[in-house]
Amino acid sequence: MNVWLFALRNAGRNRRRSLLAGGIISFGFAALALSGGFMAQTFDALRDGTIRGGVGHLQFTNPDAADDAAGLEALRHGLADASRAVTALRGDSQVVEVLERTEFFGLLTDGEVAIPFAGVGVDPEAERRTMDAPRLVTSGRWLEEGDGRDAHEVVLGSGLAGALGVSPGEVVTMMAMSVDGVLNAIDAEVVGIATLPVREMDDRYLATSLGAADTVLLAHGAVSKLVVLIADPSRVEAEALRLHDRLEREGIQTAVRTWPVLAVFYRQVRQLYLGMFGFLGLVLLLIVLLATANTMLMVTTERTREIGTLRALGARRGRIQRYFLAEGVTIGGLGCMAGAILALVLREILNRAEILLPPPPGVAHPVPLFIRFYPTAYALGAAIMILAVVLATWIPARRASRRPIIDSLAHV
Amino acid sequence: MSLRPPLLEGIGLTRTYTLGAVEVPALRGVDFALEAGEFVVLEGPSGSGKTTLLNLLGLLDSPDAGELRWEGRPLTTLDDDACADLRLELFGYVFQTYNLIAVLNATENVELPMLLRGIPARQRRSRSAALLAAVGLRDKIAIRPDLLSGGQRQRVAIARALANDAKVLLADEPTANLDRIAADEILDLLTALNRERGVACVVATHDPRVRVRARRVVALRDGLVEDGA
């Protein structure tokens, strides 16, 4: 007869009450495990959306440009050795893709109205292979690839296109400050309209070829940055250092930043979700705490005479408390096991139901509900439930164990 | 005259209970001494202080005044854990309502004080089997209390009281809930244990049949030892 077997038998004494307490714990556990799995899945989707949305895993820039937080002067400190850096990076076995980017601002006009834009010059083919932007085109097509890769074409955000009143096939004039500070302009054909998930971006988005960007900015082959995708994203910090050193050994000075540093929106959403999850955990903790406290209070009150007997036989107060804590933990542990089974069954049902959810932050289209199996949420759920039970048990057990023995023995 | 102090001694034991606004004196300066191997009966009407004295002697309660000694060493200054350890080591208790643990069978109930004392499982098992055999329950070792008769439950309680080789067995109305035959059997058992194992017994009772088995009777009335007892 050990303390756990004793606890198990006592838990089985009043099955209905233990089942009720265990049931509350199992529902609390399942709620935490499922919401944790959903949250993890949302984080994954948001992370992938951020990386494939243009941030990539790593970004290499001119070291001076790295301090220009707004990026307004990116090309003033552009990467002049871009092609050498691209060749060096593409030669690395851990690099999946290298995308050249030229970011700039300017005015777009159809001859009547001029509207500010946030432009990006891209390699259309590499962009299509690895990034989401080409898939956001809802009207027309993406920028031309192959021989026409430097054509003077633009894809506009639907907000920007709507404000200008242009559609695919029309020609617009793109005006921007060149690297030397001279206002320059080129004509470009609108070939596609893209719908971006964030309204503010949609109202300003312009994608064009690297060649067109180079022409309007008079950049002479310089680009703002190199966006790099690597094979093992979990090693992003180590790869950043290694690739930076590799470029440095080849005489190319760069600054490198990783996606967790660059993805401010991702970090904010993650913090928001973690806050919500924490609040949910707190509410469930309180519900389970109150429900099990009531049960354990009844249990200790009913067994007052038994507590007196154990004390009379020579059990110290601490041991009495441990007996009841073991009983609480037993009910909590069994409740968590039932909760885990419940969570797994519900997860399977919900994942098969093909439920579409409204687009999460940063995503353009509805996403199917998918709840990932997230072991951390299960461990955290169990920890919160056991903590609630321990708290709920400890207080009445302590009170009962401190009651005078003769009062406990006389309890009816 | 022996120079050895008594096994258990109470000097000027006083205990008053507070019931609402009323203070009820249960013991009013009682002296009591118990020698090793004695069989003492505490008798007296309800409210005379028998159970209170038994509780104080067994460290289940603390006196408001007076002193308690074990072989001359004071016990009244001990803290709660030290009292618990002494209860485990020196005393065995038999209650009127048996107070067995409902979820444990006879063997496990007897093992409980040994478990509290940290005795290994094998030793616990063999000792509890021997004790249950000694109280005539060899064939009931795996039965839970709710399936035992009153007399059998009290036998389990006596076996439990002896589990840690108690020096003193304190019994509060051990026959009050038993029929005549069962009560006689329990008294036979207590007498035999006292005689054969040398366990000192203090029995608080109304039952005149217990009185005749005692070597010494202490009569209490209104919280005092009656003259001539």
Question: Which tens digits make up the pLDDT trace of A87-138?
Answer: 999 999 999 999 999 999 999 998 888 999 999 999 999 999 989 889 999 9
Q: Would the pLDDT of A153 be above 70?
A: yes
State pLDDT tens for residues B24-39: 999 999 999 999 999 9
The whole-number pLDDT of residue A334 equals 92
DSSP-derived 3-state class of residue B33:
strand
- Mean pLDDT of the B175-196 span: 86
State pLDDT tens for residues A292-306: 788 888 888 888 898
For A224, phi then psi, to 5°, come to -75, -40
Confidence grade of residue A358 (pLDDT, cut at 50, 70, 90):
confident
CA distance to partner chain B, nearest, from residue A400 (Å):
15
CA distance to partner chain A, nearest, from residue B102 (Å):
9
- Mean pLDDT of the A201-226 span: 91
DSSP-derived 3-state class of residue A221:
coil
Query: Alpha-carbon distance A380 to A36, whole Å?
Result: 9
Q: Which of B52, B64, B80, B103 to mutate to test the interface with A (most CBs of A within 10 A)?
A: B103
The whole-number pLDDT of residue A362 equals 62
The whole-number pLDDT of residue A73 equals 55
* Residue-by-residue DSSP string for B159-195: HHHTTT--SEEEEESTTTTS-HHHHHHHHHHHHHHHH
Q: Which residues make Cβ contacts (< 8 Å) with residue B100, sequence separation at least 6?
A: B109, B145, B153, B156, B157, B160
Q: Would the pLDDT of B154 be above 60?
A: yes
Find the range with the poorest average confidence among A236-250, A357-371, B104-118, B212-226.
A357-371
Q: Would the pLDDT of A280 be above 90?
A: no
Query: Alpha-carbon distance A313 to A311, whole Å?
Result: 5
The whole-number pLDDT of residue A67 equals 62
Closest residue, chain A, to B108 (C-alpha)? A1
Q: Which of B55, B81, B116 sits opposite A313 (nearest CB)?
A: B116
Closest residue, chain A, to B97 (C-alpha)? A409
Q: What percentage of chain A reaches a pLDDT higher than 90?
A: 44
Size of interface A-B (CB pairs under 8 A): 68
State pLDDT tens for residues A4-44: 888 888 888 778 888 888 898 899 899 889 988 888 888 88
The whole-number pLDDT of residue A161 equals 95
Beta-ladder partners of B32: B10
Cβ distance of B103 and A9 shorter than 8 Å? yes
Q: Would the pLDDT of B165 be above 70?
A: yes
Confidence grade of residue A364 (pLDDT, cut at 50, 70, 90):
low
Q: Which residues make Cβ contacts (< 8 Å) with residue B147, sequence separation at least 6?
A: none
Q: Which of B55, B85, B101 to mutate to test the interface with A (most CBs of A within 10 A)?
A: B101
- Mean pLDDT of the B68-78 span: 92
The whole-number pLDDT of residue B227 equals 64
The whole-number pLDDT of residue B189 equals 86
Q: Which of A5, A13, A306, A309 to mutate to test the interface with B (most CBs of B within 10 A)?
A: A309
CB atoms under 10 Å from CB of B162, counted, come to 20
- At A155, the amino acid letter reads V
For chain B, say whether A184 makes contact (Cβ under 8 Å): no
Query: Alpha-carbon distance A117 to A125, whole Å?
Result: 23
- Which is higher by pLDDT, A265 or A195? A195
DSSP-derived 3-state class of residue A82:
helix
The whole-number pLDDT of residue A66 equals 60
Mean pLDDT over all residues of chain A? Answer: 88
The whole-number pLDDT of residue A361 equals 64
The whole-number pLDDT of residue A94 equals 93
Interface predicted TM-score (ipTM): 0.92
CB atoms under 10 Å from CB of A199, counted, come to 11
Q: Would the pLDDT of A189 be above 50?
A: yes
Closest residue, chain A, to B59 (C-alpha)? A312
Confidence grade of residue A74 (pLDDT, cut at 50, 70, 90):
very low
Confidence grade of residue B229 (pLDDT, cut at 50, 70, 90):
very low
Q: Would the pLDDT of A212 be above 90?
A: yes
